[in-house]
Amino acid sequence: MHGVMGRKPSAATNNDIASSRLMLLMLVAMTGVAPISLYMLVPALPMLATLFQRDISIAQMTVSLYMVGIACSQIIMGPLSDKFGRRPVLLWGLALMVAASIACMFAQNLPQLIAARFLQALGGATGMVVSRAIIRDLYERDRIGAMISLVIAVMMIAQMLSPLTGGLLETAFGWRAIFYVVTAASLVIAVIIALALPETRRDRVEGRGFRGDVGSLVTSRAFIGYVLCQVLASQIIFAFAGGGPYIVVTQMGRTSAEYGAWFATTGFAYLIGNLFCVRFAPRHQLEKLIWLGLALQFTGSLLNLTWSISGINQAPAWLFGTQMIVMFANAFVMSNSAAGAISVRPDAAGTASGAMGFLQMGIGSLVSQFGAYLGGHFATTLPLTAAIFVLSAACASTMVFLVPRRMVVVNEELMEQAEEEESGML
């Protein structure tokens, strides 16, 4: 075991690793540990504000600064994984998360908890950026989108259950119990990765460092196009999540619980979209899947804009029913454009993944606020649906004007090989 982990695996070993269920489990765990930890604490925020006798906006910083930590981790850990390897950077990140989670357990006031949460995100989000780089190391270009979708689909199931888990833990054992569980889970994931994950990073070009990686990426039209496509697609989610509660509760006069139920339908549509992407990806090149997603995304956002202009989507069924089309399509766009971005320079996949994640989270925090403004300061859904339509159009424009056309011929042998790999993973 030590010999396998200490050196770069051969092509045969890579194929064995890529087709193993243990690798899928590790990818899901390292990707999900940070976002799951984020949502587990959300139900306890009102209680924390009361316990520490602080305003709810201060308690909310345990979430907002956590997101800042995720964004910072993306831009730091990605390049480090290109330089030092995926495995050591991932283990150091998880070690930081374990230490920060222990600090959260013993926090005596909100400022201490907020600072520890920032460090927790900084370490935990290492898995989010490194997992995409590992997927690029192990899989061929047109299989990457399927693997990203598969990881997201499995992770989302756990992520949707995390607020419920956090609420039950806080009610039964107190808020510190949430961090007992997070600490134990992080430690278990770190041990499994230390024992089972080999180094997957590809050989580096001599003399190529961070500057060289960044220079080659930012001068590539394809990389800029794929990244902008992925980032703009993700902003549709942030905008709708920011404005949705105000529209449903304030404009439509529904309860928060009803909003939560309707919002879950969009998450379900996104989950189904990822599962369809897993199914279709082995048979189609990723550009075709991106275009399919862009067409559906544009159509759904145009329909929602039309319903807003006509005034018929002031009922949740119209608004969320059409948004489900957008979210189903969004899964195709995001996973496959991410695959394209990290494939432009395979030996700099960590840097590419980090830049993409940083932009997604950084811009997302602003777009979420903008979405909340559009939903909370108007008496109609039109401003929010118009913003989502503009984002959909801008997303499609990046593929039209920036990403070069690519023709790939897929023969029957490659299709059979892809089907074998898919059946092995599922």
Q: What is the pLDDT of residue 19?
A: 55
pLDDT at 355 over 70: yes
Cβ–Cβ under 8 Å, residues 243 and 380: no
Cβ–Cβ under 8 Å, residues 245 and 345: no
> Same structural domain for residues 175 and 96?
yes
Which of 203, 234, 254 is the endpoint of a domain? 203
Higher pLDDT pick, 238 / 6:
238
The residue written with tokens 């606020």 in the block is 369
Q: What is the pLDDT of residue 35?
A: 86
- State pLDDT tens for residues 116-154: 999 999 999 999 889 888 988 888 777 787 788 878 777
Average of pLDDT values for 367-384?
85
pLDDT at 426 over 80: no
Find the range with the poorest average confidence among 110-124, 193-207, 240-254, 297-311. Answer: 193-207
> Same structural domain for residues 271 and 328?
yes
> Same structural domain for residues 168 and 261?
no
> Same structural domain for residues 55 and 174?
yes
Q: What is the pLDDT of residue 93?
A: 95
Which of 203, 235, 256 is the endpoint of a domain? 203
Helix axes 256-280 and 316-343, enclosed angle (nearest 10): 40
Q: What does pLDDT average to over the chain?
A: 83
- CA 320 vs. chain centroid, Å, equals 21
pLDDT at 56 over 50: yes
Domain count along the chain: 2
Cβ–Cβ under 8 Å, residues 125 and 70: yes
Scored b (16 or more CB within 10 A) or e, 7-18 reads eebeeeebeebb
Q: What is the pLDDT of residue 205?
A: 56
Q: What is the pLDDT of residue 410?
A: 44
DSSP per residue over 307-374, as a string?
HHHHTGGGSHHHHHHHHHHHHHHHHHHHHHHHHHHHHSSGGGHHHHHHHHHHHHHHHHHHHHHHHHHH
Cα-based distances in Å from 151 to 25, 132, 193: 9, 10, 16
Higher pLDDT pick, 61 / 114:
114
Find the range with the poorest average confidence among 150-159, 213-222, 410-419. Answer: 410-419
Q: Which token pair is 251?
A: 């404009």
Which of 185, 203, 221 is the endpoint of a domain? 203
Q: What is the pLDDT of residue 190?
A: 93
Residue 249 pLDDT level (bands cut at 50, 70, 90): confident
Top-ranked range on mean pLDDT: pick from 77-91, 191-205, 278-292, 398-412: 77-91
Q: What is the pLDDT of residue 278?
A: 84
Q: What gap in Å lies between CA 156 and CA 28, rounded to an integer?
A: 10
Q: What is the pLDDT of residue 406?
A: 60
> Same structural domain for residues 193 and 234?
no
Supply the Cα-derived Rg of the chain in whole angstroms: 21
> Same structural domain for residues 150 and 266?
no
Q: What is the pLDDT of residue 414?
A: 44
Residue 177 pLDDT level (bands cut at 50, 70, 90): very high
Q: What are phi and psi of 157, to 5 degrees?
A: -60, -45
Q: What gap in Å lies between CA 248 and CA 241, rounded to an integer?
A: 11
> Same structural domain for residues 152 and 297?
no
Q: What is the pLDDT of residue 411?
A: 44
Name the nearest CA neighbour of 368 among 36, 125, 64, 34.
Answer: 64
DSSP state of 7: S
> Same structural domain for residues 333 and 372?
yes
Q: How far apart are the two ends of the chain, measured CA to CA in Å?
A: 26
Residue 420 pLDDT level (bands cut at 50, 70, 90): low
Higher pLDDT pick, 376 / 19:
376
Rounded (5°) CA angle 204-206-209: 75
> Same structural domain for residues 199 and 76?
yes
> Same structural domain for residues 51 and 188?
yes
Average of pLDDT values for 248-256?
80
Name the nearest CA neighbour of 44 among 160, 158, 180, 174.
Answer: 174
Q: What gap in Å lies between CA 197 and CA 30, rounded to an integer?
A: 11
Average of pLDDT values for 82-87?
88
Q: What gap in Å lies between CA 424 and CA 360, rounded to an integer?
A: 32
The amino acid that residue 69 corresponds to is G
Residue 178 pLDDT level (bands cut at 50, 70, 90): very high
CATH number reported for the structural domain that contains residue 406 in this entry: 1.20.1250.20
> Same structural domain for residues 166 and 276?
no
Q: What is the pLDDT of residue 391?
A: 96
Instruction: Classify 132 as helix, strand or coil.
Output: helix
Residue 409 pLDDT level (bands cut at 50, 70, 90): very low
Q: What is the pLDDT of residue 417?
A: 52
Q: What gap in Å lies between CA 305 and CA 303, rounded to an integer?
A: 5
Q: What is the pLDDT of residue 301?
A: 95
Average of pLDDT values for 153-168?
76
Percent of the chain surpassing pLDDT 70: 87
- State pLDDT tens for residues 329-351: 999 999 899 888 888 888 788 88
Average of pLDDT values for 369-380?
83
Average of pLDDT values for 395-403?
91
Q: What is the pLDDT of residue 209?
A: 64
Q: Which token pair is 350?
A: 């960590």
User: Domain range spanning residue 76?
Assistant: 2-203
Q: What is the pLDDT of residue 194?
A: 92
Percent of the chain surpassing pLDDT 90: 31
Residue 350 CA neighbour count, 13 Å, CB half: 27
> Same structural domain for residues 53 and 182?
yes
Which residues lie closer than 8 Å to 10 by C-beta, 6 or more apart?
none
Name the nearest CA neighbour of 62 among 108, 109, 102, 118.
Answer: 118
Cβ burial, residue 267 (10 Å; 0-12/13-18/19+): middle
Cα-based distances in Å from 362 to 36, 69, 301, 358: 19, 10, 23, 6
* Helices assigned H by DSSP within 247-313: 256-280, 286-310
Cβ–Cβ under 8 Å, residues 45 and 60: yes
Cβ–Cβ under 8 Å, residues 186 and 94: yes
